Amino acid sequence: MANNRTLCDQFSKILRGRPSFAGGKCVATISRDEIKAVILGKRFRVTSSFSFESVNRKTGRGLCLARAAFLQKEVNRFISAIRKQGIKVSSVRNEWLFDQPRLIYINIEAVDRPLAFARKVRRALDAIGRFS
């Protein structure tokens, strides 16, 4: 268990996120504080989450997932960058009505070593800039 917590801390550090670990699942959360979003006139805190679970002891590979929030102008650049890293884009959608600015959520998935996944995602996030 302690080893997974250490791995989770390393995973989160690469992504520059806040770590949490429960039930065998590691989640790194990144807040997009630079986006001043509102939904129905109320302030909305924009966050993205990146996770891994079910790590195989032999191969070190686990299920790596993410749900990340982007401005419309960032979507194409991120999708191109993440696909170049060999990571699947499983959905692209808007989750909210009446949001300003318009937020687009992208889900990605891979079976990979968690730290390798985190580095690939970090490279794709860096390609769009300003993503903490």
Task: State how far the Cα of 124 lies from the Cα of 40, in Å rounded to an integer.
Answer: 31
* Helical segments of 16-95, H only: 72-84
Cα 99–104–109 angle (5° rounding)? 145
Provide the percentage of residues in the chain whose pLDDT is more than 90. Answer: 91
E strand or H helix at 28, and its extent? strand 25-31
Question: Going by C-beta distance under 8 Å and a sequence separation of 6 or more, which residues neighbour residue 11?
Answer: 19, 26, 28, 50, 52, 114, 115, 118
Position 117 in a domain = yes
pLDDT at 2 over 60: no
The domain in which residue 124 lies consists of: 31-46+56-128
- Residue 4's pLDDT is 77
In CATH, what number is assigned to the domain containing residue 38? 3.30.1370
Q: Say if residue 130's pLDDT is above 80.
A: no
Domain membership of residue 22 (yes or no) is no
Q: What is the pLDDT of residues 50-84, one digit of tens each?
A: 999 999 999 999 999 999 999 999 999 999 999 99
Q: How confident is the model at residue 10 (pLDDT cuts 50, 70, 90)?
A: very high
- Per the domain annotation, does 23 fall within a domain? no
Is a pLDDT exceeding 60 seen at residue 1? no
Domain count, the chain: 1
| DSSP 8-state secondary structure symbol assigned to residue 108 | E
The reply to whether 66 falls in a domain is yes
Q: Predicted confidence band at 131 (pLDDT cuts at 50, 70, 90)?
A: confident
Q: Are the CB atoms for 108 and 90 separated by under 8 Å? A: yes
What would the pLDDT profile of 97-126 be if each residue is shown by its tens digit? Answer: 999 999 999 999 999 999 999 999 999 999
Report yes or no on 9 lying in a domain: no
- Asked if residue 15 is part of any domain, the answer here is no
Which residues make beta-bridge pairs with 69? Answer: 105
Domain membership flag for residue 10: no
The pTM is what?
0.94
Would 51 be classed as within a structural domain? no
Q: Is the pLDDT of residue 132 over 80?
A: no
